[in-house]
């Protein structure tokens, strides 16, 4: 008897904190349903960062509409009278399909739908207008009711910052910056423009409020640390003209080291005078070591990215040729040629078989394997088939300047709809281009040079002549921290191009043109390294 009472007491004590937490984190939000007279239903809601989220499961139950949920993939559908609405956990995109006319549209919420305790929650004020587009019964919330939801009482989150601090030190011919880290980061880059140095560390978090309040250096007029969803960026405005920069990992720790060579300046002389001779000598030695590391920049890894694959066939030709088969055929032939003719170059494939690889993952594969050149292979098409438009095109990552370039980028980027997490992608526009492409923007000049060489080489061996080097916003190129291009090998909507690309001999011609370009580019690139080892390649 006493034992059972003891166990019961323990269970009550265990349940009590959970019950208190639920009462603190969830409230009830009244929703008005249009009608004569109007009715009120209540759904669970909570507040996160001053934004109210309502429970979509409760909303469906109260309005008596059908739903579909997959808790493994975190997908949820609401099937109302006039259409279907689809959401996913931790995703900003909402798909709607109208019953009349089968019209489909993809909408982006400013905040992601949340998945918690096997339930789906949407940001109330932003979600309801989308729901009303597929519902015969219009619903609304009173902003005062939303504001009245109590902020959840919870312990502050324990943040584990990968970046813990920054130390600035002077040297005779520049500045040494040590970014202190608690773990190793392999994906980092730099970008220089108008005496600003931008250092981006991917997959990192930092206490930016603390760093911005405490970081000071006589060498920089402005120091700003910004936390982005997937990276931390340091923006440093130098008081002196920068002549060279470099960022690398410290051999003896997980820290990142940035060296900035500058023209002589009185500010630096004053700073150096405060340092001991021994410390200055160590810094000079470190600078020498960092310069020697430039020899590691040789073009020794080429990443081949055959576009599409698996359940993403890409575009379909006039007689049924699938883009994914053409790109894989060219990619495998190209890799074999590089291995045969360039034994000092390692070949990395984003795929060697017919399988689906997410667009963001392709750039990650290139970075993880130390890629020095990224070549994404595709085939083009027009909606009207057959079409007289033909020829290859070479694309660089920049916001599209022409309607044709924008349409081609939209076609290739459409593969994101097949991915589970579409929220990681942002539209490549003029406004966000620098932020999106910071990881590889330092290599833009090399990308342009390789694209021009490739266009010339393909024009010599392929007929008809190519359509030149163009620019568009391709997601597959965004994350590649190396020179990169996207090759549209021809138009499958054109009968002659399709016949050429469908044939293994035609694929071999494309592959041979690319490998000759890689050889030519490698010779010129490495000659530049030998002639000017201090070049920072910006």
Q: Are residues 409 and 515 in the same domain?
A: yes
Q: Based on the fold, state whether residues 443 and 385 are members of the same structural domain.
A: yes
In a domain, 68, yes or no: yes
Q: Based on the domain organization, do 312 and 385 belong to the same domain?
A: yes
114 with 206, same domain: the answer is no
Q: What are phi and psi of 184, to 5 degrees?
A: -85, 135
Predicted local distance difference test score (pLDDT) of residue 292: 57
Run of H or E including 338: helix 323-341
Mark whether 319 and 289 lie in a shared domain.
no
Tens-digit pLDDT profile for residues 398-443: 544 444 434 443 444 444 444 454 444 444 444 444 444 444 555 7
The sign one gets for the Cα dihedral 361, 364, 370, 373 is: positive
Query: Do residues 362 and 466 both lie within one domain?
Result: yes
In 3D, which of 251, 265, 109 has the Cα closest to residue 184?
A: 251
**CB 398: neighbour CB atoms within 10 A?**
20
Mean pLDDT of 183-190: 91
How far, in Å, CA of 72 to CA of 453, rounded? 47
pTM for this predicted structure = 0.44
Q: Which CATH number goes with the domain that contains 369? A: 3.40.630.40
For the chain, the domain total comes to: 3
Reported as a single tens digit per residue, the pLDDT across 254-308 is 999 999 888 765 555 555 455 555 566 666 666 665 555 555 678 899 999 998 8
Q: What is the pLDDT of residues 113-148, one digit of tens each?
A: 998 888 999 998 888 888 988 888 889 888 878 877
Structural domain contains residue 8: no
Residue 351: pLDDT band (50, 70, 90) is: very high
Question: Which of 84-98, 179-193, 288-302, 475-489 shows the lowest per-residue confidence on average (mean pLDDT)?
Answer: 288-302
Q: Is residue 18 part of a domain?
A: no
* Boundary residue ending a domain (82, 113, 148): 148
* Assigned domain for 3 exists: no
**In this structure, are 138 and 189 located in the same domain?**
no
Measured from the Cβ of residue 55, the count of other Cβ atoms closer than 10 Å reads 23
Do the domain assignments include residue 123? yes
- What kind and span of H or E run contains 171? strand 163-171
Q: Residue 279 and residue 276: Cα distance in Å, rounded? A: 5
336/97: higher pLDDT: 336
Tokens standing for 184?
């190793």
Would you say residue 83 lies in a domain?
yes
Residues 6+ apart with CB under 8 A from 254: 181, 182, 183, 184, 185
Establish if 14 belongs to a structural domain: no
At 107 the pLDDT is 79
Joined together, the tokens standing for residue 163 give 């970046």
Are 51 and 176 members of one domain? no
453-469 tens-digit pLDDT: 998 888 887 765 667 67
**What's 207's domain CATH number?**
2.60.40.3500
Give the whole-angstrom CA distance, residue 334 versus residue 341: 11
Last residue of a domain, one of 293, 311, 326: 293
- Distance CA(237)–CA(205), nearest Å, equals 22
Name the one residue in this structure whose structure tokens are 């990881």: 439
- In this predicted structure, which of 95-109, 308-322, 364-378 has the lowest mean pLDDT? 95-109
Does residue 238 or residue 274 have the better pLDDT? 238
Is the same domain home to 286 and 334? no
In a domain, 187, yes or no: yes
318: buried, middle or exposed (CB in 10 Å: 19+, 13-18, 0-12)?
middle
Looking at 148, 174, 199, the residue that finishes a domain is 148
Asked if 239 and 130 sit in the same domain, the reply is no
- Residues 237 and 351 grouped into a single domain: no
Look at residue 265 in the predicted model and tell me its pLDDT: 54
Does residue 168 share a domain with residue 81? no
Residue ranges making up the domain that contains 55: 23-148
User: Nearest-5° angle of CA 246, CA 250, CA 252?
Assistant: 160
* Strand 346-349 to 301-306 pairing: parallel
Between the CA of residue 32 and those of 53, 62, 420, what are the distances in Å? 16, 11, 33
Question: Cα(300)–Cα(372) distance, rounded to whole angstroms?
Answer: 7
What pLDDT was estimated at residue 286? 63
CA distance 391 to 494: 9
Place of tokens 């050889």: 519
Say which residue the tokens 């568009």 belong to: 472
8-62 pLDDT, tens digit each: 433 343 333 333 333 334 578 899 998 878 889 999 998 887 788 999 999 999 9
Of 88-92, 154-158, 340-344, 529-533, where does mean pLDDT reach its minimum?
A: 154-158
């Amino acid at each position: 008897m006493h034992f059972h009472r003891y166990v019961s007491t323990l269970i009550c004590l265990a349940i009590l904190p959970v019950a208190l937490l639920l009462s603190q984190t969830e409230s009830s939000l009244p929703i008005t349903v249009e009608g004569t007279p109007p009715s009120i239903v209540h759904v669970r809601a909570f507040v996160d960062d001053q934004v109210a989220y309502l429970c979509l499961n409760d909303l469906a139950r109260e309005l008596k509409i059908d739903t579909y949920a997959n808790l493994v993939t975190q997908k949820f559908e609401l099937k109302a009278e006039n259409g279907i609405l689809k959401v996913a956990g931790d995703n900003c995109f909402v798909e709607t399909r109208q019953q009349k006319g089968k019209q489909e549209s993809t909408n982006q919420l400013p905040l992601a739908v949340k998945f918690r305790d096997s339930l789906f929650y949407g940001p109330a004020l932003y979600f309801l207008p989308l729901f009303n587009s597929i519902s015969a019964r219009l619903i609304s919330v009173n902003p005062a009711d939303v504001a009245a939801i109590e902020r959840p009482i919870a312990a502050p989150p324990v943040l584990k910052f990968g970046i813990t601090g920054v130390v600035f030190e002077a040297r005779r011919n520049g500045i040494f910056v040590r970014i202190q880290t608690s773990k190793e980061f392999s994906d980092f880059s730099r970008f220089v423009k108008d005496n600003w140095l931008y250092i981006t560390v991917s997959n990192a978090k930092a206490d930016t409020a603390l760093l911005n309040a405490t970081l000071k250096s006589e060498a920089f007029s402005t120091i700003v640390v910004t936390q982005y969803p997937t990276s931390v960026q340091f923006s440093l405005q130098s008081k002196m003209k920068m002549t060279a920069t470099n960022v690398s990992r410290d051999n003896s720790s997980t820290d990142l080291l940035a060296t900035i060579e500058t023209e002589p300046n009185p500010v630096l002389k004053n700073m150096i005078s405060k340092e001991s001779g021994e410390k200055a000598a160590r810094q000079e030695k470190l600078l020498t070591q960092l310069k020697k590391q430039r020899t590691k920049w040789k073009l020794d890894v080429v990443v081949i990215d055959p576009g599409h694959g698996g359940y993403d066939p890409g575009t379909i030709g006039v007689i049924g040729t699938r883009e994914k088969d053409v790109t894989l055929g060219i990619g495998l032939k190209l890799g074999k040629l590089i291995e045969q003719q360039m034994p000092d170059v390692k070949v990395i494939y984003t795929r060697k078989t017919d399988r689906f690889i997410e667009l963001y993952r392709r750039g990650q594969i290139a970075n993880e394997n130390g890629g020095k050149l990224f070549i994404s292979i595709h085939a083009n098409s027009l909606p009207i088939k057959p079409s007289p438009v033909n020829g290859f095109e070479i694309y660089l990552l920049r916001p599209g300047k022409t309607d044709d370039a924008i349409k081609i980028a939209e076609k290739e980027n459409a593969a994101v709809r097949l991915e589970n997490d579409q929220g990681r992608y942002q539209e490549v526009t003029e406004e966000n281009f620098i932020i999106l492409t910071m990881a590889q923007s330092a290599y833009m000049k090399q990308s342009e040079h390789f694209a021009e060489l490739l266009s010339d080489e393909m024009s010599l061996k392929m007929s008809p002549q190519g359509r030149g080097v163009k620019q568009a916003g391709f997601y597959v190129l965004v994350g590649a921290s190396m020179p990169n291009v996207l090759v549209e090998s021809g138009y499958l909507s054109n009968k002659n191009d399709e016949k050429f690309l469908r044939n293994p001999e035609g694929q071999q011609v494309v592959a041979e043109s690319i490998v000759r370009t890689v050889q030519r580019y490698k010779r010129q690139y490495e000659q530049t390294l030998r002639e000017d080892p201090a070049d920072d390649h910006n």
